[in-house]
Amino acid sequence: MTPSLSTPNTSAWQLEPIEVDVAVLGAGQAGLAVAYYLRRAGLRAWTGYVLLDANPGPGGAWAHVWPSLRLFSPAEYSSLPGWPMPAPTGRGFPPAAHVVDYLTRYEDRYELPVHHEVRVTGVSRLDDDGDGRLLVQTTAGVWAARVVVSATGTWGRPFVPFYPGIDSFAGCQLHSAQYAGPQEFVGQRVVVVGGGNTGAQVLAELSEAARTTWVTARPPTFLPDDVDGRALFMAATARRQALDAGRPDPGGVASLGDVVMVPPVREARERGVLVARPMFSRLTRTGVEWSDCTAEEADVVLWCTGFRPDLAHLAPLGLRGAAGRIPTTGTRALAEPRLYLVGYGDWTGPGSATLIGVGRTARETVADLTARLEALPSAPRRLRQRPARSAEGVRHEGGLTSPR
Ligand code: FAD
């Protein structure tokens, strides 16, 4: 359903901004979930709402993760609103390629208006009119939107903490975002940094091909073997319910433990690999060194140290707050009511950086922004009447996997 960039409304030679009601920036799972609800609210594809995505194809970050990565939940706990993720063939939780396939088919199924290979370079105010439009500058022209939903994720901003000597290490340093599998590290000495799920899973796999050392900032905590991503989802749900009801914060998913014991990690534990050393104090030219003066030679330091919100395109709006985040109420930016942020982490909605968790945040976001659109005195295009919901839609949307 994606038109080519040579179609008149998206061509690089376009001079006038293309006007839309809603521009969704990013078409990973968060952008698609928002688009699902925009469609259901009756906005017209392409002219009412559009998604702009830098990737050449569907799948968001899932198209870039290392090939052996599997979800830490079964398919039925990994669904976006409307259409449950089909079960994968074979045993085990769905692999990353299955998620890419699901997101590809999701995009097609709902005929979502995604322009791929269009990078947003900046979002700015057209004028001082609070009811006016935001300008979305991209590599393929300019859009002028009444509302912008930023759903650009974190994959584009890998985080590496600073340690003394980081520039003098003569070996190879890479972030987990660049990790493509163990084959290129056979026989090498690899220091894996990071005590989260990525660190544990990469360590488990690499330790079969390389000589690994695991280093974590604090001792890693492991979930019980019989607890998987379903428990994380339930914890996120319980937290949201407690906060909504004004009860004390029971803590997010972090309170359960850091590492889900997926089969490769369990197997690594049986091999005695899951033993972490504390964080080193500096890098040397040939390896890493701890504060007690012990040292280890290394060929590779692999940083599994997470990501930060990828928000550089919003810099012209001048909204940045503490920790690189933009202060929000719900998902709406406090200082710019035409801007919403979806999917970046618990700060934009409990569990909103997970497949199943983002649906509820997306639904609430669309309810809020459509109310805003309806109230605009200048809105030239009213939301058209809601389409009748198909029997299929009713069936799926009432199910467990659809966080309504
Ligand atoms: P993304 O998937 O990153 O999508 C953002 C999109 O925005 C991308 O397509 C990108 O190209 C586009 N974009 C970025 N910048 C721009 C720009 N300037 N202009 C235009 N487009 C732009 N979640 C689970 O539910 N279950 C799991 O088992 C699970 N495992 C995970 C394992 C790993 C290793 C990681 C890193 C995450 C995991 N997650 C899991 C978390 C979560 O599902 C992902 O982080 C998810 O990809 C976030 O979706 P998103 O749509 O917010 O961002």
pLDDT at position 351: 86
Q: Which residue has the higher pLDDT, 99 or 379?
A: 99
Separation of CA 375 and ligand 1 centre (Å) = 32
- Give me the number of domains the chain comprises: 2
CB 83 within 8 A of CB 366: no
Per DSSP, the residues of 233-273 read HHHHHHHHHHHHTT------GGGG-SB---HHHHHHHHTT-
User: Is 70 exceeded by the pLDDT of residue 264?
Assistant: yes
Same domain, 353 and 217: no
Per-residue pLDDT tens over the stretch 175-196: 999 999 999 999 999 999 999 9
pLDDT at position 388: 40
Give the side-chain half-sphere CA count within 13 A for 373. Answer: 26
Ligand 1 atom having least distance to the Cα of 354: 25
| Cβ neighbour number for residue 367 with a 10 Å cutoff | 13
Which residues, at least 6 apart from 327, have a Cβ–Cβ distance to it below 8 Å? 319, 321, 333, 334, 335
Separation of CA 379 and ligand 1 centre (Å) = 32
Same domain, 46 and 76: yes
Nearest-CA residue for atom 12 of ligand 1: 26
Backbone angles phi, psi at 369, to 5 degrees: -75, -30
For a ligand 1 pocket test, name from 71, 73, 152, 259 the mutation site with the most ligand atoms within 8 angstroms of its C-beta: 152
Percentage of the residues of the chain whose pLDDT score is greater than 90: 74
Asked which of 34-43, 89-98, 245-254 is least confident by mean pLDDT, the reply is 245-254
User: Is 90 exceeded by the pLDDT of residue 143?
Assistant: yes
Nearest-CA residue for atom 23 of ligand 1: 354
Separation of CA 159 and ligand 1 centre (Å) = 15
Domain edge (last residue) among 303, 330, 358:
303
Q: How far apart are CA 196 and CA 173, in angstroms?
A: 19
pLDDT band at 258 (very low <50, low <70, confident <90, very high): confident
Per-residue pLDDT tens over the stretch 275-326: 999 999 999 999 999 999 999 999 999 999 999 999 999 999 999 988 889 9
Ligand 1 atom having least distance to the Cα of 30: 51
Same domain, 316 and 299: no
Q: Is 294 exposed, middle or buried (0-12, 13-18, 19+ CB in 10 A)?
A: exposed
pLDDT at position 254: 60
Separation of CA 154 and ligand 1 centre (Å) = 6
Residues at CB less than 6 angstroms from ligand 1: 25-31, 52-55, 60-62, 65, 69, 71-73, 78, 119-120, 151-153, 155-156, 198, 229, 310, 313, 343, 353-355
Same domain, 204 and 120: no
Q: Three-state SS for 210? A: coil
Ligand 1 atom having least distance to the Cα of 260: 28
Structure tokens at 84: 């449950």
Per DSSP, the residues of 38-77 read HHHTTPPBTTTEEEEESSSSS-GGGGTS-TT-B-SS-GGG
> What is the separation of C-alpha 117 from the centre of its chain, rounded to a whole number of angstroms?
18
pLDDT at position 256: 62
Same domain, 22 and 148: yes
Structure tokens at 225: 């073997």
Rounded to an integer, the average pLDDT of 230-237 is 75
Separation of CA 319 and ligand 1 centre (Å) = 22
Which residues, at least 6 apart from 239, have a Cβ–Cβ distance to it below 8 Å? 249, 250, 251, 252, 350
pLDDT band at 91 (very low <50, low <70, confident <90, very high): confident
Q: Kindly state whether residue 389 falls inside one of the protein's structural domains.
A: yes
CATH number of the domain to which 176 belongs: 3.50.50.60
Element (H, E) at 173: strand 172-175
| Cβ neighbour number for residue 173 with a 10 Å cutoff | 17
Nearest-CA residue for atom 8 of ligand 1: 60
Nearest-CA residue for atom 28 of ligand 1: 71
Sign of CA dihedral 100, 105, 111, 117: positive
Same domain, 194 and 272: yes
Same domain, 136 and 218: no
pLDDT at position 112: 98
pLDDT at position 7: 39
Q: Kindly state whether residue 232 falls inside one of the protein's structural domains.
A: no
pLDDT band at 253 (very low <50, low <70, confident <90, very high): low
Phi/psi-derived region of residue 114, left when phi > 0, alpha when psi is between -120 and 50, beta in every other case:
beta
> What is the separation of C-alpha 193 from the centre of its chain, rounded to a whole number of angstroms?
21
Which among 27, 44, 170, 36 has a CA at the least distance from the CA of 100? 27
Task: Tell me what the pLDDT averaged over the chain comes to.
Answer: 88
Percentage of the residues of the chain whose pLDDT score is greater than 70: 88
For a ligand 1 pocket test, name from 71, 155, 159 the mutation site with the most ligand atoms within 8 angstroms of its C-beta: 155
pLDDT at position 383: 57
Separation of CA 392 and ligand 1 centre (Å) = 27
Q: Are strands 189-193 and 300-303 parallel, antiparallel or unpaired?
A: parallel
Same domain, 51 and 150: yes
Give the pTM: 0.90
Q: Which residue has the higher pLDDT, 403 or 260?
A: 260
Q: Kindly state whether residue 112 falls inside one of the protein's structural domains.
A: yes
Which among 355, 312, 346 has a CA at the least distance from the CA of 328? 346
pLDDT at position 402: 30
Give the side-chain half-sphere CA count within 13 A for 400. Answer: 8
For a ligand 1 pocket test, name from 25, 50, 52, 53 the mutation site with the most ligand atoms within 8 angstroms of its C-beta: 53
Asked which of 298-302, 338-342, 344-348, 359-363 is least confident by mean pLDDT, the reply is 344-348
Residue with tokens 């590492």: 259
Sign of CA dihedral 202, 207, 213, 217: positive
Nearest-CA residue for atom 38 of ligand 1: 354
Ligand 1 atom having least distance to the Cα of 60: 9
Q: Kindly state whether residue 136 falls inside one of the protein's structural domains.
A: yes
Domain edge (last residue) among 237, 269, 303:
303
Rounded to an integer, the average pLDDT of 88-115 is 96
Same domain, 148 and 188: no
Separation of CA 65 and ligand 1 centre (Å) = 10
Same domain, 213 and 346: no
Q: How many residues does the chain have?
A: 404
Q: How far apart are CA 99 and CA 79, in angstroms?
A: 9
Q: Kindly state whether residue 247 falls inside one of the protein's structural domains.
A: no
Helix 29-40 and helix 358-375, axial crossing angle in degrees, nearest 10? 50
Nearest-CA residue for atom 30 of ligand 1: 71
* Residue 38 Cα distances to 55, 144, 228, angstroms: 21, 17, 32
Q: How far apart are CA 319 and CA 334, in angstroms?
A: 9
Q: Kindly state whether residue 19 falls inside one of the protein's structural domains.
A: yes
Q: Kindly state whether residue 166 falls inside one of the protein's structural domains.
A: no
Separation of CA 266 and ligand 1 centre (Å) = 26
Same domain, 133 and 269: no
Q: Kindly state whether residue 243 falls inside one of the protein's structural domains.
A: no
Nearest-CA residue for atom 29 of ligand 1: 71
Domain range enclosing 98: 12-156+308-400
Asked which of 27-36, 99-108, 135-144, 391-400 is least confident by mean pLDDT, the reply is 391-400
Per-residue pLDDT tens over the stretch 353-399: 999 999 999 999 999 999 999 988 766 455 544 444 433 332 233 22
Nearest-CA residue for atom 39 of ligand 1: 354
User: Is 50 exceeded by the pLDDT of residue 8?
Assistant: no
Q: Are strands 287-289 and 332-333 parallel, antiparallel or unpaired?
A: unpaired
| Cβ neighbour number for residue 130 with a 10 Å cutoff | 9
Long-range contacts of 323-331 (CB under 8 A, 24+ apart): 330/364, 330/365, 330/368, 331/361, 331/364, 331/365, 331/368
Rounded to an integer, the average pLDDT of 13-17 is 72
Same domain, 285 and 326: no
